[in-house]
Structure 1
Amino acid sequence: MIKTLLENIMNGIDVRQNLSQLRQEIKETNPKSELLELIGEDDKFIDGIKDLLNSEDAKTRKNAALLMGDLGIEDFCASLFNAYQAEVQMFVKSAYLTALKSFNYFDYLPDFKNRLMELTEIDLTIENKKHVEEEMRALTELIVDMEGIVAHKFGGFNEAYDCILLTNRLHTNVTEAQLSEISGCDARCFNAGVEVKTNNLYNILPIRTYSELLFTIRGMKNCEMDAIPAALTISKSDLLTVLKKAHSGTTPFYFRVEIKSKMPLDKKSIFAKKFSSELERLSNRELLNSPSNYEFEIRMIENKLGTFNVLLKFNTIKDERFSYRIESISSSIKPVNAALLVALAKDYMIDNARVLDPFCGVGTMLIERQKVVKANTSYGIDILGKAIDKAKINTEAAGQIIHYINRDFFDFTHEYVFDEIFTNMPSAIGRTTEEDIYELYKKFFDTAKNFLTQDGTIIMYSHNRNYVNQLASENRFTIIKEIEIMDKEETFLFVIR
């Protein structure tokens, strides 16, 4: 099939259609390798494909350029650039630029920058608007991908902001309580987190129980689900004023768009492109769309009224709360969830305690506990060797000392007992069945009493509430506190003595 398509193209048979079909075929690795091998056997194929850039048919030129980009043969690079320079059909020009992404186009950057300046001065019409914006978008991507962006430094920690801290939906009050202790914060809970008016951002950032920090900007809290009016709303808002006030340096600022909507995926993509191009134009390119290399995110969330709620996320604000978590495994708890567990259980923890995590994974639970309630000594046990290795890396990055042992907890022995067991219990994933988990819980409660002082405490995060309630009482433990953590996942925090 590949050879036939290539020969038909070289012989001038249904060239446009065969080019399109050939591009479809080589989306898979093996056909692409076959085509590259065929082309490598004879220079006439390379020359023949280059000649297609001179075709009188514009769509043939477009498909040929895209095929050359797919193949990434370095000999195509100069031909693509020259054809781009010579192309008179606006709808074809962006195809050359898309193809050039596959090559080292560094020498052409001055030409791309000059062309971008030319395009900004073109009067847009109904006929040319789409193609001009496509070419500008492609040029911007090439320039940014090669040079990167001059990132702005955030310095607006003492400016006034309206923020949203996304949190666990069942425990928004935990973060609200932490905010109430910070001066310059007016906070109130809502269904997904906490809304905050503040001029003390610097002291909010270290709070460990929120998953994301977002901002609402005056004039763009809502917008229509229509790309052009949406861009107009945001261009007229305080967005640029806020960006310039909070950052050192000059424009442009680079953004990406995130759409959370029931809109089909293809419609989202069309909306994002149209919205971004229009916002670039309306902002006089002080705001530039760069999906893979950006400084802030415009997040659009469909609401019940059929419009978008609009939030901003600054990538220029570094979140270093969990920077120690260098390593993880598939079953690792998210650090923000571990931090919430500590916040909920801290009144049952004691300072200077001897703490054991019998299923420690990569150490997240013990590390987060130590950040809030200092332990005298901490031990982490795990049957998985790679988890222990990763836990050691994370603990060193956190600047803590925790003793890790690669062993099955049920084979573990120790010369002294512990004040507390703090753990995220295993759950049924992969090859581990519910029957396996039940047996593990059964053995755990039977074994745990041997490792605890007489008034020792088990603080346990569990996906298996029924097992805990049944087996704790059977082993003469008392559940002091039971807190639902996630309703969909049916997870609970237990304090047991």
Structure 2
Amino acid sequence: MIDALLTRLKDGIEIRQTLSKIRQAIKDEEAFSDLYNIMWDQTNLLIPLLQSEDAKTRKNTALLMGDLAMDDFLEPLFTAYQKEETLFVRGSYLTAMKNFDYEELLPKLHKQYDKLCTQKTAEENKKHIEEEIRLLRELIIEEEGIPMHTFTGMNRKHQCVLLTNRNHADFVATQLTELGLKPTVFSAGVHVVTDALEPLLSLRTYQEMLFEPDMLKPCSFDAKAIVSMLLQSDLLTFLQQDHKGDTPFYYRIELKSNKDLRFKSDLTKKIASTLELESNRMLLNSPSHYEIELRIIENEEGNCSIMVKYFTLPDHRFSYRTESVAASIKPTDAALLAALAQPYMAEDAQVLDPFCGVGTMLIERQKIQKANTSYGIDIYPTAIAKAQENTQNAGQIIHYINKDFFNFTHEYLFDEIFTNMPFAAGKTTQQEIVQLYEQFFKKIPSLLTKEGKVILYTHNATEAKKIAAKNSYKLLAAFPYRNKPRTDLLIFSR
């Protein structure tokens, strides 16, 4: 296939179309390898095509060079970019350059970026010029990063939205009330007004903190209405009041909507391009490198709310969790589960997690209720190594053992089992999970004191309750946790 396409290229047969077919073909790894090896000493086959009279041939050539990312292509690409007069082609050179080491070209890229940002552009050319500016900015940011602002609004009055587990927003609201605040519960979390953010930053049971500027009122979920609201709101002033620094704010847009991807992509582009121009490029959209997020959330009536998330305000609550595996529970979930279960936890308890994974459940349990000794068991050595790393980061002492729980014995009994139970996923079937629960409840009497508690986070509440009852364990409490997929926190004793 590749040999035949290269022959057509050499013979000048439908060059533009042939270049497209080559790019399509090398999506296959073997075809890519074949082309790369052939082109190793034949780079001059492509370089002259950058001077073709046909604009689309120049475009396709540049993109193919970018696919191959061979060092010999960078200088010809940049030279061709500088000479290119057809606007819709210019971005192709910049797109291609992303795959190269272009650090030495940064001064020239900066110069071109500044030139385009300050020059007057005819209306019919704006679309292509703005795209070129965006691509230049992406190249510069990829190498240099973005200048970060310093958050200084810790004691400024804010309307905060804490997104929570939907079934337990009231629990988080109670915690906020205990801090002397007056929270309001809504469908996705809790709204609170405060002029002291520090206490909120230590609360472990919410998922995210967003800010709701007074001037960002709900509006229709369409580009014109959203842009109008953002411009009228003086969003830039709001951001500046919370930060130190006079450089532009780099942001991303996060759309929470059931609309299709094309609609959301078009909407994002319209919002971003207008904000950039109207803010004199003090608000710059950068999906990969950013310090602000504009969260735009569509409701059932077709309107939307606009909120702000600050990445300039670091969330250190779970910074210990540097290691994880695919099945790891989210730290915010583990923290909330531990808080819900706290009334059933004994002080100075001996605690066991028989399926500990990377240690998150035990670490969060220790933060909410100090244990005497904690043990974590897991059959996977990788998980144990990661758990040890996370625990060290958390400044805690937990004993981890790489072993099958069902072969585990211990010299003394535990006061509590606190665990995230395995569930059917991948090659593990539901029948195997039911068998595991049967084994689990038969095993734990040999490890648990008569007064001991079994605290389970489970995807299989119905089976867990039946099997527990059959093994003489009574249900003390049940907390519906998540609706889709259904999960529960169950607490048993003998």
Question: Into which bin does the TM-score normalised by the smaller protein fall?
Answer: over 0.9
Give the equivalent residue in structure 2 for 1:373: 369
Give the equivalent residue in structure 1 for 2:484: 488
Identify if the C-alpha distance between structure 1 residues 128 and 408 changes in structure 2 by more than 3 Å, giving closer, same or farther. Answer: same
Identify if the C-alpha distance between structure 1 residues 229 and 13 changes in structure 2 by more than 3 Å, giving closer, same or farther. Answer: farther
Q: Secondary structure at the match of 1:453?
A: strand
Give the equivalent residue in structure 1 for 2:214: 218
Describe the superposition over 1:297-335 as per-residue Cα deviations: whole angstroms up to 9, x where unpaired.
112222223233222211111111111112222222211
- Does the 8 A contact of 2:257 with 2:298 survive in 1? yes
Describe the superposition over 1:365-410 as per-residue Cα deviations: whole angstroms up to 9, x where unpaired.
1111110111111112222222222221111111111112222223
Runs of 5+ in structure 1 lacking a partner?
none
Identify if the C-alpha distance between structure 1 residues 285 and 47 changes in structure 2 by more than 3 Å, giving closer, same or farther. Answer: same
Give the equivalent residue in structure 1 for 2:12: 12
Give the equivalent residue in structure 1 for 2:32: 32
Describe the superposition over 1:141-162 as per-residue Cα deviations: whole angstroms up to 9, x where unpaired.
1111111111112121111111
| From 326, 340, 358, the counterpart of 2:322 | 326
| From 132, 139, 162, the counterpart of 1:135 | 132
Q: Secondary structure at the match of 1:210?
A: coil
| From 386, 389, 392, the counterpart of 2:388 | 392
- Does the 8 A contact of 2:217 with 2:229 survive in 1? no
The letter of the residue matching 2:392 is E
- Does the 8 A contact of 1:295 with 1:314 survive in 2? yes
The letter of the residue matching 1:2 is I
Give the equivalent residue in structure 2 for 1:239: 235
Give the equivalent residue in structure 2 for 1:55: 52
Moved more, 342-351 or 418-427: 418-427
| From 309, 318, 342, the counterpart of 1:313 | 309
1:362 positional shift: 1.7
The letter of the residue matching 1:21 is K
Give the equivalent residue in structure 2 for 1:122: 119
In structure 2, C-alpha distance between the alignment counterparts of 1:450 and 1:22, rounded to whole Å: 66
| From 103, 110, 113, the counterpart of 1:113 | 110
Moved more, 280-289 or 148-157: 148-157
The letter of the residue matching 1:386 is T
The letter of the residue matching 1:91 is F
In structure 1, C-alpha distance between the alignment counterparts of 2:263 and 2:9, rounded to whole Å: 34
After superposition, residues 47-196 of structure 1 pair within 5 angstroms as 47-183=44-180, 185-196=181-192
Runs of 5+ in structure 2 lacking a partner?
none
Identify if the C-alpha distance between structure 1 residues 115 and 383 changes in structure 2 by more than 3 Å, giving closer, same or farther. Answer: closer
Describe the superposition over 1:248-273 as per-residue Cα deviations: whole angstroms up to 9, x where unpaired.
11121111112222332233223222
Q: Secondary structure at the match of 1:257?
A: strand
Q: RMSD of the TM alignment (CA)? A: 1.8
- Does the 8 A contact of 2:147 with 2:247 survive in 1? no
Give the equivalent residue in structure 1 for 2:340: 344
In structure 2, C-alpha distance between the alignment counterparts of 1:348 and 1:225, rounded to whole Å: 46
1:210 positional shift: 1.0
Give the equivalent residue in structure 1 for 2:407: 411
TM-score (norm 1): 0.94
| From 430, 439, 462, the counterpart of 1:466 | 462
Identify if the C-alpha distance between structure 1 residues 205 and 65 changes in structure 2 by more than 3 Å, giving closer, same or farther. Answer: same
In structure 2, C-alpha distance between the alignment counterparts of 1:411 and 1:38, rounded to whole Å: 57
In structure 2, C-alpha distance between the alignment counterparts of 1:182 and 1:250, rounded to whole Å: 35
- Does the 8 A contact of 1:360 with 1:380 survive in 2? yes
1:453 positional shift: 2.3
Identify if the C-alpha distance between structure 1 residues 386 and 120 changes in structure 2 by more than 3 Å, giving closer, same or farther. Answer: closer
- Does the 8 A contact of 2:149 with 2:244 survive in 1? yes
In structure 1, C-alpha distance between the alignment counterparts of 2:413 and 2:186, rounded to whole Å: 43
The letter of the residue matching 2:362 is L
Moved more, 459-468 or 128-137: 459-468
In structure 2, C-alpha distance between the alignment counterparts of 1:72 and 1:349, rounded to whole Å: 59
1:168 positional shift: 0.6
- Does the 8 A contact of 1:158 with 1:199 survive in 2? yes
The letter of the residue matching 1:464 is N
In structure 2, C-alpha distance between the alignment counterparts of 1:430 and 1:59, rounded to whole Å: 46
1:229 positional shift: 4.6
Q: Secondary structure at the match of 2:124?
A: coil
In structure 2, C-alpha distance between the alignment counterparts of 1:385 and 1:39, rounded to whole Å: 45
In structure 2, C-alpha distance between the alignment counterparts of 1:169 and 1:226, rounded to whole Å: 27
Q: Secondary structure at the match of 2:372?
A: strand
The letter of the residue matching 2:33 is S
- Does the 8 A contact of 1:137 with 1:277 survive in 2? no
In structure 1, C-alpha distance between the alignment counterparts of 2:284 and 2:255, rounded to whole Å: 17
The letter of the residue matching 1:30 is E
Tell me how many residue pairs correspond in the alignment. Answer: 493
Q: Secondary structure at the match of 2:183?
A: strand
- Does the 8 A contact of 1:232 with 1:279 survive in 2? no
In structure 2, C-alpha distance between the alignment counterparts of 1:36 and 1:434, rounded to whole Å: 47
Describe the superposition over 1:15-51 as per-residue Cα deviations: whole angstroms up to 9, x where unpaired.
2222222222222222222222222243xxx224221
Moved more, 379-388 or 194-203: 379-388
| From 257, 260, 268, the counterpart of 1:261 | 257
Moved more, 229-238 or 96-105: 229-238
Q: Secondary structure at the match of 2:202?
A: coil
In structure 2, C-alpha distance between the alignment counterparts of 1:131 and 1:2, rounded to whole Å: 33
Identify if the C-alpha distance between structure 1 residues 229 and 15 changes in structure 2 by more than 3 Å, giving closer, same or farther. Answer: farther
- Does the 8 A contact of 2:216 with 2:230 survive in 1? yes
In structure 2, C-alpha distance between the alignment counterparts of 1:228 and 1:144, rounded to whole Å: 29
1:338 positional shift: 1.1
The letter of the residue matching 2:354 is P
- Does the 8 A contact of 1:251 with 1:287 survive in 2? no
Q: Secondary structure at the match of 1:143?
A: helix
